[in-house]
């Protein structure tokens, strides 16, 4: 791919966990934050604060190139899948949506979201 598809530069700091980067767990949830257009890449499961990491966006792409499939995810949206290689399911992230304090979205939420 000739051009960088994300709305942030390759060296943009993004959130992930040691489970993804050091243990090789699949990225199952991607969040594109509405407030600062930041990105988060998580696996399913509980996480402690100590397990969170900040890495460059290019490191995430190098670790799992399939995240390029959601590079056009609008701010305030999330994408999820059951395992690497599955199609991404996209939805508005209810925690990012004003006026939805009850979180009426029925998609699975990423436990331990930063």
Number of domains in the chain: 1
Residue 20 lies in a domain: yes
Residue 105 lies in a domain: no
pLDDT per position as a tens digit, 35-89 = 999 999 999 988 899 999 999 999 999 999 999 999 999 999 999 999 999 999 9
**The model scores a pTM over 0.85:** no
What is the residue range of 57's domain?
13-96
What is the chain's alpha carbon radius of gyration, rounded to the nearest angstrom? 13
């Amino acid at each position: 791919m000739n051009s960088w598809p994300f709305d942030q530069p390759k060296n943009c700091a993004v959130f992930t966990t040691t489970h993804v980067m050091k243990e090789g767990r699949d990225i199952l949830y991607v969040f594109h934050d509405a407030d600062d257009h930041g990105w988060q890449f998580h696996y399913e499961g509980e996480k402690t604060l100590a397990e969170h990491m900040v890495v460059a966006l290019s490191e995430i792409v190098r670790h799992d190139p399939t995240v390029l499939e959601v590079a056009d995810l609008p701010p305030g949206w999330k994408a999820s899948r059951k395992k690497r290689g599955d199609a991404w399911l996209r939805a508005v992230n209810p925690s990012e949506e004003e006026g939805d304090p009850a979180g009426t979205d029925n998609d699975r939420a990423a436990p331990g979201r930063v």
